Chains A and B, each alone.
Chain A
Amino acid sequence: MALVATDNPLLAALTFLSAGTAAIVGAIVVPSLLLLYFLKLRRTERVVSSTLLWRRAVYDLQVNSPFQKLRKNLLLFLQLLILAAVLLAISQPVINVMRQPDKNVLILVDRSASMKTEEQDGRTRLSHAKEAANTLVQNLPDDCRVMVIVFAERAEVACSFTNDKRRLVTAIDGIEPTDSHTRIGEALQLAVAYSGQSSDVAADGSAAPTGGNADIRIFTDGHIADADDLGMIEGKVTYHRVGNAGDNVGIVAFDVRRDAERPGMLSVFARVENFGEKPVTADVSILLDGKLLSGAGSIQQITLGPAQLPTTVAADAADLQPAFHNVIFELNHESGGLIEVRLHRSDALSIDNVVQAPIDPPRELSVLCVCERRRPRSAFERVLRAVGVEHTAWMTSSQYETVADAELIRDGRSRFDLVVLDNHDTGRLPPGNYLFLGGVPKIDSVTTSEYVEGQPLVSWQENHPLIRPADFSNVFIARWRRLILPPTASILVEGEDSPVIAAMNDPGHRYVIAAFDVEESNFLLSIPFVVLMQNCTRGLTDAGLSDRGRPASPGDTLTVTVPGGAEKADVKRPDGVTESMDVSGRTSLSYGKTRDAGVYRVSFDDANKTTDVFSINTLSSNESNIRPLDNLRLAQRQIDTAAGDVKVSRPLWPWLIAAALIILMFEWWVYNRRVML
Chain B
Amino acid sequence: MAQSPPTAAAEGLLDPDFMHRLEQLEITSRKIFASRQKGDRRSKRKGESSEFADYRNYVSGDDLRHIDWNIYARLDRLFLKLFLEEEDLNVSILLDVSKSMAEGKPDKSLFAKRVAAAMSYIALCNHNRVNLYAYRDAVAGQLAGLRGRRTMSRVVQFLETATVEGGSRFTVAAKAFALRHTQKGIVLVLSDFLDKSGVQDGLRYLFGRSLDIYLIQVLSPQELNPDLAGDLRLVDCEDEETAEITVSKPLIDKYKANLEAHCQAIRDYCTQRGASYLRVSSDSAFETLVVTHLRQRGLLR
Contacts and interface: CB of A to CB of B under 8 A. Distances in A.
Contacts of B246: 72
A48 B248 contact: no
Interface in A649-677: 673-676
B235 A51 contact: yes
Contacts of B265: none
Interface string B100-130: 1101100010000000000000000000000
B249 A674 contact: yes
Nearest to A48: B234
B254 A47 contact: no
Contacts of B236: 47-52
A57 interface: yes
B261 to A, nearest CB: 9
Chain B interface secondary structure, helix, strand, loop or mixed? mixed
A55 interface: yes
A2 to B, nearest CB: 43
A204 interface: no
Contacts of B195: 52
Given A61-B254, A676-B249, A47 B237 contact: yes
A470 B200 CA distance: 136
B285 interface: no
Given A44-B230, A60-B258, A49 B243 contact: no
> Max chain A CB contacts within 10 Å: which of B194, B242, B248?
B248
A44 B231 contact: yes
B301 interface: no
A80 to B, nearest CB: 18
A374 interface: no
By size class, the interface of chain A is 20 to 34
Given A57-B258, A60-B254, A674-B247, A49 B237 contact: yes
Interface residues of B, number: 41
A55 B255 CA distance: 9
B163 to A, nearest CB: 17
A72 B244 CA distance: 13
Contacts of A41: 231
A545 to B, nearest CB: 95
A45 interface: yes
A219 to B, nearest CB: 59
A53 B196 CA distance: 9
Interface in A24-67: 40-41, 43-58, 60-61, 65
B241 A47 contact: no
A71 interface: yes
B223 A674 contact: no
B199 to A, nearest CB: 11
Contact of A51 (B222, B242, B259): B242
Given A60-B254, A674-B249, A47 B244 contact: no
B248 A71 contact: yes
Nearest to A64: B254
A52 B229 contact: no
Contact of A53 (B233, B235, B249, B259): B259
A674 B248 contact: yes
Interface in A526-575: none
Interface of A: 40-41, 43-58, 60-61, 65, 71-72, 673-676
Given A57-B251, A65-B250, 6 more contacts: A45-B233, A48-B223, A49-B220, A57-B245, A58-B243, A71-B248
20 contacts: A45-B233, A46-B228, A48-B103, A49-B108, A50-B236, A50-B237, A52-B196, A53-B255, A53-B259, A54-B234, A57-B245, A58-B251, A61-B250, A71-B248, A674-B229, A674-B247, A674-B249, A674-B252, A675-B248, A676-B249
